[in-house]
Amino acid sequence: MVEEEPHPTWDTKTSIAINSIRVLNALTAESQVNLKRIRRVRSYVTLPTNRNVRITKTALKRRDDIVLEHMGSDDATGLVKAEWVEYVPDASFFAPASPHSVKDESSNTDPAVLYLHGGGYALCSRKTHRGLTWKVAKHAKSRVLAIDYRLAPEHVFPLALHDAISAYSFLLSNGRPASKIIICGDSAGGGLALALTLWLRDNGPSHNLPLPAGVILMSPWLDLSHSLPSFKNGKFDLLREKVIDSTVITETRSHFYISDNSFLKHPLVSPLFAQENLLAPLPPLLIQVGDAERLRDESIVFATSQFSQSPIRLEIYEGMVHVFQMLASFIKVADRAMERLGSFAQEAIARQEQQDSCGLAEFERRVEWISNDAKHDFPVRSMTSAEVTELLEGSSGQVAEEVSSVMAEVTTSGDSAESEVEFLGSCDEGPMVPMPER
Catalytic one among 166, 169, 187, 230? 187
Catalytic one among 86, 105, 293, 298? 293
Task: Judge whether 322 counts as a catalytic residue.
Answer: yes
Task: Judge whether 318 counts as a catalytic residue.
Answer: no
DSSP-assigned letter for residue 353: H
Burial zone of 89 (CB within 10 Å; 0-12 exposed, 13-18 middle, 19+ buried): exposed
Q: How far is Cα 29 from Cα 135, in angstroms, rounded to an integer? A: 30
Which stretch of DSSP H or E encloses residue 314? strand 312-317
Task: Judge whether 73 counts as a catalytic residue.
Answer: no
Q: Could you tell me whether strands 143-147 and 181-186 are parallel, antiparallel, or unpaired per DSSP bridges? A: unpaired
Burial zone of 58 (CB within 10 Å; 0-12 exposed, 13-18 middle, 19+ buried): middle
190 CB-near residues (< 8 Å, 6+ apart):
116, 118, 217, 218, 219, 220, 221, 222
Q: What is the total residue count of the chain?
A: 438
Q: How far is Cα 203 from Cα 280, in angstroms, rounded to an integer? A: 11
| Pick from 110, 11, 101: nearest CA to 57 | 101
- DSSP one-letter string for 110-176: S-EEEEE--STTTS--TTTTHHHHHHHHHHHTSEEEEE-PPPTTTS-TTHHHHHHHHHHHHHHHTT-
Chain-centre distance for alpha carbon 41: 23
Catalytic one among 155, 305, 322, 426? 322
Chain-centre distance for alpha carbon 183: 11
Residues 293/239, Cβ–Cβ less than 8 Å: yes
Helices (H), 238-330: 296-301
Which stretch of DSSP H or E encloses residue 215? strand 214-218
Q: What phi, psi does 387 have (nearest 5°)?
A: -70, -40
Q: What phi, psi does 87 have (nearest 5°)?
A: -105, 120
| Pick from 269, 345, 330, 322: nearest CA to 115 | 345
Identity (one letter) of the amino acid at 129? H
Q: Which residues are catalytic?
A: 187, 293, 322
